[in-house]
Amino acid sequence: MVRYRRNVVPGGTFFFTATLYDRRSSALLDHVDKLRGAFRVTRLESPFTVDAIVILPDHLHVIMTLPEGDSDYSGRWRRIKSVFTHRVVASGTSVPHNHRGEFALWQRRFWEHTIRNDTDFERCADYIHFNPVKHGLVASPSDWPYSSLHRYVRAGILPADWGGVGQISGNFGER
């Protein structure tokens, strides 16, 4: 069995990619209200800050900061995925099961990167905000409604036309 090593940094800031099991699915957008609810429930139970986020049809990217002294991001992801899955199932949507009898909505793991400094944070946030363009979903990042880019624009951190031209390079756990 492969042993995954996760970087444990209490109070750290991390970039995550979480992906649906079926990469052709659009469940995250079809049930975006349930996903937002899963984040709210998890944040109430185990606080964290969402510094940047983008929700795409089959995956999402998040920069998350944990409270001082807390390093349990795996528990938070387990809870987000579980609450979302159970709410989708409760809505009457059919979700397949894997060979263990578990719901097979999400890929079992997630991709994580520890944010090292302000430059790294900015690079990851830019990647998040440009991701809908990278996947051909919109021509401009501001056209995608499921992105924290709009919060950054309202706060004056980025201009409304940010990302209208150019490219963001990097793999960030995607194929």
Residues catalogued as catalytic: 146
Structure-derived torsion over alpha carbons of residues 141, 57, 119, 67, reported in degrees to the nearest 10: 130
Rounded-to-integer distance, Cα 8 and Cα 10, Å: 6
Rounded-to-integer distance, Cα 158 and Cα 94, Å: 40
CA angle 41, 45, 46 (to 5 degrees): 110
Rounded-to-integer distance, Cα 63 and Cα 157, Å: 16
Query: Contact at 8 Å (CB) between 44 and 6?
Result: no
